[in-house]
Structure 1
Amino acid sequence: MKRVFAIADDLSGAAETAAAFMQFSAQTEQERGQGLVKTARIVLVPVDPGDTEFEHPGHTCVVFDSDSRRLDAKSASVRLEALVQRIPEGNESICVFLKVDSLLRGHMSSDLGVLLTRGPVVLAPALPALGRGTIGGVVHIAGVPLHESSLWSNEGRTVPATIAEAIAPLASLLVELSAVRGGARELGRVLGVLAEQNAIAICDAETAEDLDLIVAAAMSGENAQLAGSSALGAALFRALDEPRLVCSSGIDRSEEGMLDISPPIEVSLRPVVARKPVLFVIGTTSAASRMQLEALAASGVCMVTMNPAELLGGGADSAALRTALLAGPVAVSLSATEVDAAASRALSAALAEFVSPFASQAPLVLTGGETARAVLNSLNIHWLEPLAEIEHGAVLSRTDRNTLVVTRPGSFGGPDSLCTILDHIHSYLSAEPETPRKAH
């Protein structure tokens, strides 16, 4: 059985990747009769990446959150190099996957440059489940080119018009959709030529089937490494998966109705009378998150809105949060409609420091990778084991301290996303045995 070593630059991306693996890992060791159980673990890389626990025996998929999105490009490369250097060379039983942002954020060029030192790289950032495809080397969101959208408004830099521009000055060549769909042999030949030229193959894709074709062609070559969104990770896991019994539940990840076997969580349609405390920490200030918070407030959840200046100045009063958590779920968010990109790291740290005295007292819902990582760092948490994907990108995990946390990218989810997450947590808590199982 092959193992996957995946690397993401933030926590929500790492959890999204692990959740994609879970879609194909429901069978037990007994059902398969093999020594390695198909499970995933998310590892939070520490300040010194050399201190990272790397092997994690018994886990087929290990996803490392390098926590490098918040760093400058040079520092991010150093962290990634420290992880990549520990991956055994020439081991055909290991697959390497670099999770990149489907909107091309982060240190795309330097990250891919590090991966390219190991061998050929095939890049496909499409995320069909969210309507994000690539056509002619340009990312489109529901048909709108990325550079014509407002999705980079908080990035503090100019949005790249093409994927090639985002990864410059690395050498790259475009594999257009016609070539992706032109047959496995021809696609494999094209990828092989690009590998010989030490150029990154940028592959167009619109559907999950396109991503399956890309993975199949890449794996037919030698030492090919894959880089893309969690959807490309899902295609990799499908390709590695062996024939299995099928059970239905969870998230359908493709428009073709691909079978999904993520662990089920039953959600009651009846109103929850006595809601247990759950702490939401909303680090993003996007318009979508505002709508989600409004829906959560309308459902009766207490809102604690923080002023960024007070948080950064250390003068924020936690009395309201302390009192509210005694009564039930609480959502902590920022009053600003926009946060300067240069201040986001300091603000995430300040927000984590503010909530940390209460964060171990209740299940957590953390949106935004930087915020999520800052909060978990404050709790001295080292790894997570995913339990279920509630909706795309919203992953329920158990920590090494036997607590529950849901992570989700800040830009994901519809208006009722936070309400859906809360319902699932309460249903999970209701179904959980009185004596929780120990983390392992």
Structure 2
Amino acid sequence: MDMTPSRRLLAIADDLSGAAEVAAAVCSRTTRSRVLLFGGPGAVGMATALRPRHAGEATVLDLDSRYRPAAEAAEAVRGALRMSWPDGGGQDAVAAPGPSDTLEALDTFVLKKIDSLLRGNVAAEIAALAEGGAGVVLAPALPIAGRVVRSGVVHIGGVPLHEGDAWRAEAVPPPASVAQALGGLPTAPIPLATVRSSRPTLLTALRAAATAGRVAICDAETDADLDAIVEASLADGPGMRLVGSGGLALALGRHLTTASPATGARAAPGTGSPAAAGPAAPGATGSAVPGATGSVATAVGGPAVSDSWGRGAADATRAAVLASAAGTAASSAQTGRPVLVVVGTAEPAAVEQVRRLVEDGASHHPLPLAALLADGSPVRLPALTAAVTVVSLSASPESPGPAPAYEAVALPSPRPAPSSVGGAEPVSGRRLVLGLARAVGAAVAAHDGAVDLVLTGGETARRVLDALAVAELDPVGQVHHGAVHLRTPDGRSVVTRPGSFGDPDSLRHIVRALRPHSTERKVTS
């Protein structure tokens, strides 16, 4: 597949951290990328904004649809596809495309990013994607995080998804298989033996599934498996629509890097080869995911934190491109901007991540749940005078303030829970996150100057950026897998990270990348 000037890549994600993952994954010397926040308060003229600014540019849309009603999520996918056609109208466009629009739509490669744990409106969104007879290839494996698909079942660290606790914050039980997550959609299993066979054999299986109107569900355990799926799926051009996690996005990024000729000006001496990325800087910590192999240096300023992006020279090339982009994004330490870390995740691992950040000198302000859920004025945060401030959720009814204790707070899913008869009204996860976003928005607005942000959890990240009317982001680099450094149009840094990603030092690494030497570890072990 070649990303010629007449072809473009449209990626659609259901949450912001996933959209950021995709933008970083496909950004390379041959493909630029950006993230647009669909439907947000600052998203004016989205249909116009969708038109690529550069030949071969990848546009990544955050539909903010993971916890919306299924029918709304499906319509959001349809709307994104309609707007991707030239002159396809705005968000109210409902007419069928004309002949020229259809030809252009067929020249648009489509990637649908889903959660590797199959959370969200997977069935409804894939059904919308398959309308009109488009072939759909689904590969949700994320090998770098130990999430693989065997015999059509997602496994995490060797444990089937439905037998573990990865869905503990969800209002419904996890699916027992990928096919079950698709509800009644017709599917065709593509076993690992077929994925690892010759490309013609795999391509024949994918074509047969598409011809029969079935979603091809692919087993995959390694990055090489995902590479094979991408290469076979795109052998015939943009006709197949890819659906998968960040692992599939990385495979697509590798494919674009190796399959597409470089566009634009000739690279400067020393930048045209993977070696241009350079070795990892001294002090790099290596992969944050046990078992990951290979590394690239982070593209943000400060001490490099290396992590596996996948396989080989294509990833080193991507790192070099992001490093070049990072040159235009000054670190928070260089600009004097404070860093505000917002932890809105229910993951227990976040407790230790926050503890280590506070150990390094960050100011910690847990916010009481009751206050976040209350109507009226937003919770008031102290002035952002510290170099690094971290806010999190607290079950304590006390006012926000520095706290020596660290506690795990069970943040419910933003999806409305089934109503119980005679029971107490369940806490609304969406209201909690909205309250958190309002508090952060008020604190940023009250600060005299710009503030850089670290946002954990896709729902939290989206609500905070909506509160700040940010509708567009450009990728700068990746601190570790899933922790993506982005830049707002006015030059502020935003790092997003899924709540379930990162080792105990994740937040520490992110802050040190944004503010080298801004804090010192007070306790050594």
* Bin of the TM-score, shorter chain as denominator length: 0.7 to 0.9
Q: Does 1:296 align with 2:357?
A: yes
Q: Partners of 1:175 and 1:426 in 2: how far apart?
A: 46
Aligned to 1:335: 394
Counterpart amino acid of 1:66? L
Aligned to 1:362: 451
The one of 252, 270, 280 aligned to 1:236: 252
Counterpart amino acid of 1:218? S
Counterpart amino acid of 1:58? H
Aligned to 1:54: 50
The one of 12, 32, 52 aligned to 1:39: 32
Give the superposition deviation at 1:316: 8.0
Give the superposition deviation at 1:80: 1.5
Q: Partners of 1:212 and 1:331 in 2: how far apart?
A: 38
Unaligned runs of 5+ in 1: 28-37, 267-271, 430-440
Q: Partners of 1:292 and 1:84 in 2: how far apart?
A: 39
Aligned to 1:313: 374
The one of 181, 185, 206 aligned to 1:170: 185
Q: Partners of 1:5 and 1:115 in 2: how far apart?
A: 12
Q: Partners of 1:357 and 1:331 in 2: how far apart?
A: 15
Give the superposition deviation at 1:399: 0.8
Q: Partners of 2:435 and 2:188 in 1: how far apart?
A: 42
Alignment of 1:403-422 (within 5 A): 403-422=492-511
8 Å CA contact 1:275, 1:329 repeated in 2? no
Q: Partners of 1:366 and 1:126 in 2: how far apart?
A: 24
8 Å CA contact 2:40, 2:471 repeated in 1? no
User: What secondary structure is seen at the aligned counterpart in 2 of 1:121?
Assistant: strand
Q: Partners of 1:381 and 1:3 in 2: how far apart?
A: 24
Give the superposition deviation at 1:56: 3.3
Counterpart amino acid of 1:232? L
TM-score in terms of structure 2 length: 0.74
8 Å CA contact 2:455, 2:495 repeated in 1? yes
Structure 1 consecutive aligned stretches of length 4 or more whose deviation exceeds 6 Å: 255-258
**Which stretch has the larger CA shift, 389-398 or 255-264?**
255-264
8 Å CA contact 1:285, 1:334 repeated in 2? no
8 Å CA contact 1:276, 1:329 repeated in 2? no
Q: Partners of 1:282 and 1:151 in 2: how far apart?
A: 18
Structure-2 change in CA distance of 1:316 and 1:285 (3 Å): farther
8 Å CA contact 2:137, 2:233 repeated in 1? yes
**Which stretch has the larger CA shift, 108-117 or 338-347?**
338-347
Aligned to 1:34: none
Give the superposition deviation at 1:358: 2.3
Q: Does 1:389 align with 2:478?
A: yes
Q: Does 1:11 align with 2:4?
A: no
Counterpart amino acid of 1:366? L
Q: Partners of 2:496 and 2:25 in 1: how far apart?
A: 14
Give the superposition deviation at 1:379: 0.9
Aligned to 2:433: 348
Give the superposition deviation at 1:288: 1.2
User: What secondary structure is seen at the aligned counterpart in 1 of 2:242?
Assistant: strand
Q: Larger Cα Rg: Structure 1 or Structure 2?
A: 2
User: What secondary structure is seen at the aligned counterpart in 1 of 2:515?
Assistant: helix
Alignment of 1:103-114 (within 5 A): 103-114=117-128
The one of 139, 144, 154 aligned to 1:129: 144
Give the superposition deviation at 1:83: 0.8
Counterpart amino acid of 1:72? P
Q: Partners of 1:188 and 1:80 in 2: how far apart?
A: 26
Q: Partners of 1:408 and 1:316 in 2: how far apart?
A: 28
Between the two proteins, the alignment pairs up a number of residues equal to: 410
Give the superposition deviation at 1:50: 9.1
Question: What RMSD over aligned residues (CA atoms) do the two structures have, in Å?
Answer: 2.5
8 Å CA contact 2:141, 2:221 repeated in 1? yes
Structure-2 change in CA distance of 1:279 and 1:168 (3 Å): same
Percentage of identical aligned residues = 37
Give the superposition deviation at 1:401: 3.0
Q: Partners of 2:412 and 2:437 in 1: how far apart?
A: 18
The one of 290, 296, 309 aligned to 1:253: 309
TM-score in terms of structure 1 length: 0.87
8 Å CA contact 2:142, 2:247 repeated in 1? yes
8 Å CA contact 1:277, 1:328 repeated in 2? yes
Give the superposition deviation at 1:145: 0.9
8 Å CA contact 2:16, 2:458 repeated in 1? yes
Give the superposition deviation at 1:404: 1.2
CA-to-partner distance for each residue in 1:114-137, whole Å, 9 max, x for gaps?
Answer: 100140000000011111110000
Structure-2 change in CA distance of 1:112 and 1:245 (3 Å): same
8 Å CA contact 1:139, 1:145 repeated in 2? yes
Q: Partners of 1:188 and 1:67 in 2: how far apart?
A: 33
